Chain A
Amino acid sequence: MEFDELPEEVRELIEQLDEAAEDEEEEAIEELTEKLLDTGVDMEAITLKKLSLCVMDGEEEMSVGWTKVALKIGIDPFKALLKGLAAGMSLIGDKYEKGEAFVPQLMIASSAMYEGMELLSPYLKANSSGADPSTVVIGTVEGDVHDIGKNLVKTLLSANGFNCVDLGNDVEADRFVEAAKEYQATAVSMSTLMTTTMAEMPKVINMLESSGMRDKIKVMVGGAPLSTDYAAKIGADVSPKDAAGAANWLKTTLSESPSDTENLN
């Protein structure tokens, strides 16, 4: 879907709808949606593209507005989430990975994605296809309250179809292990920003080992002070460079062992 190739009349209506969404004018959004449908244009393709672009640009109000459009024209809510909102999160994630975007851009994109997701969530539950997505238990280790990085990893994992169990920050080692057991997690993701709390990570890995769960679970560790060497030393599977890298790594790794991937979108 290239907007440039659309008729001028359609492009104008889309712009007006952007403005109505920005100003949160419900009636105008509905009216303009009708008008766009009347033009006979492929509204689903336009809406999905707009959703991804609004999330990529971190436009909260516009993401919400276009999510309303998606619901109004009857796009499958799962499709609106994965091909629209989450696709936008992946776009900005890729840019960040290439050094073309900064953390605040990821954060406003994440917030735009969640705003849209909130509208979709009642319909998502109703539409659940039955297959549970792979679960990742995620948290910042004990003694560390920095959770921006952890939240970004969570967002990008969610955007890639994973179900995240977020334990928050300052999480004691045994809570990671308990949660991994309770939710039958495919992976555990631990984060820390401080050199002072890095030692909590091997603690969790040792506990997973002694409870016999380590072989079935991928362990990801991340945060500014960590290196690949350190990750290897403590027995983690990976220390991805950033949030986008984490999501990509897990997706790729699981698709290489097919038994784990059947539930992934």
Chain B
Amino acid sequence: MVSEMTSRERVLAMLNGKPVDRVPVVTGSTMVVEYIKKSGGKWPDFHSNPEMMVNVAGMMHTDAGIDSVVVPFGMFVESIALGLDVKMGRVDIQPSVRSFFKKPEEVNYANFLENTYVQTTLEAIKLAKEKYPEAAIAPFLVAPVTLAGDLMGAENLSMLSIKCLQKEKQMAKMEKWLSIALEINKIYAKACIEAGADLLYYSDASASPNLVMPDFYYKVGVPVEKELGDFIHELGCPWVLHICGDTVPIIEGMASTGADCLSVEQAVDMKKATEIVGAVPIAGNLTPLLMVEGTEEQIVNETRKGLNGGAKASMLGCGTPPLSTSDRLKTWVKAAVEWSAENL
């Protein structure tokens, strides 16, 4: 039996494949309305005010008992910092990217780090680290294929993902977009690590078999994710890779990126996934909607199902829904604690 760990120690041990006192419970994005209200957060200020952001995100740790503190809220920061149109949503709807570039040459990232929203993330990381040194501070970032998709438009990404496998000229186009995305990813990753991130949580939502060809993911997606991952490892930081959809057909590729943990959604058969990847820990994979309207029984069953399937951390299949309730979040954490007491 491992003696009691802090949340940070627990998460880092899991990422290192070391024994834990109990399985960590971690999340992706955490813009939860109940915590926004309880912490005095105001829309849209909590997207650009680091203190407000940390107060909202921090309640996932202090109130619900989640082991990570995740900032920022949503996958728009990279895009807004590059000058793309972003609709800020509502208190219960995350911001969304509304425009894209026509040509790679239009992307200017020279002043990326100076953008207000990027600065907010970096300040929030520092602040979270000060306020919650015992938690795992995990910035939520957009991974290269998805960022390339934001730059060129998701529809173009999807179509180019098949055309580039057929024609060299199209591949050259794809590589150009990806190389820019990767440069931006590296700049942002380095700054987040310097600000004190304990791990980087990347969503490569658009690398999903729901949007691009699995063949494309293996030939093009894996190498760029690996390049980013190697860069992050050189800076001494672990990273987690999330891809949406049923990722079983690409999970071997995800494991080969060198990510320290893979995050999968509820469409994935956890047992099958853990059997394929072997030593790489997988986090998952409760249906997010359970946090809004699930019964205690449903939450407990899905938590146990993921862990029985071999997950090394309990996590929702996607971001935490804004209308999640604190009692349901607590039920989830309790279910993971109880499973650990019985099984570790």
Chain A residues in the interface with B (C-beta under 8 A): 58, 102-105, 107-108, 111, 143-146, 148, 151, 170, 195-198, 224-225
Contact = CB atoms under 8 A, between A and B. Distances in A.
Nearest to A145: B96
Interface string B183-203: 000000000000000000000
Contacts of A143: 89-90, 93
Q: How large is the interface on B (under 10, 10 to 19, 20 to 34, 35 or more residues)?
A: 20 to 34
A104 B154 CA distance: 11
Contacts of B90: 143
Contact of B159 (A108, A146, A198): A108
Given A143-B89, A195-B288, A224-B210, A104 B158 contact: yes
B210 A107 contact: no
Contacts of A105: 162, 213
A105 B214 CA distance: 12
Contacts of A224: 210, 244-245
A148 B321 contact: no
B39 to A, nearest CB: 19
- Which A-B residue pairs are the 4 nearest by beta carbons? A104-B162, A143-B93, A145-B96, A104-B158
Most interface-central of A144, A148, A151 (chain B CB within 10 A)? A148
Contacts of A58: 162
A108 B98 CA distance: 22
Contact of B209 (A102, A107, A146): A102
Contacts of A198: 289
B20 to A, nearest CB: 29
Contacts of A111: 159
Contacts of B288: 195, 225
A102 B209 CA distance: 7
B171 interface: no
Nearest to A106: B158
17 contacts: A58-B162, A102-B212, A102-B214, A103-B211, A104-B158, A104-B211, A105-B213, A107-B158, A143-B89, A143-B90, A145-B96, A148-B154, A195-B318, A195-B321, A196-B93, A196-B321, A225-B288
Contacts of B216: 104
B159 A104 contact: yes
Contacts of B213: 102, 104-105
B161 interface: yes
A107 B162 CA distance: 10
B93 A197 contact: yes
B261 to A, nearest CB: 23
A144 to B, nearest CB: 8
A196 B74 CA distance: 12
Contacts of A102: 162, 209, 212-214
B292 interface: yes
A170 to B, nearest CB: 7
B87 A170 contact: yes
A75 B211 CA distance: 36
Contacts of B338: none
B93 A107 contact: no
A103 B155 CA distance: 10
A243 B318 CA distance: 23
Given A145-B98, A148-B211, A224-B210, A196 B162 contact: no
A196 B323 contact: yes
Contact of B212 (A104, A151, A225): A104
A92 to B, nearest CB: 12
B334 interface: no
A224 B213 CA distance: 18
Contacts of B323: 196
Interface in B270-318: 288-289, 292, 318
Contact of B162 (A108, A148, A151, A197): A108
B330 interface: no
Contacts of B155: 107, 148, 151
Nearest to B94: A196
A103 B158 contact: yes
Contacts of A225: 288-289
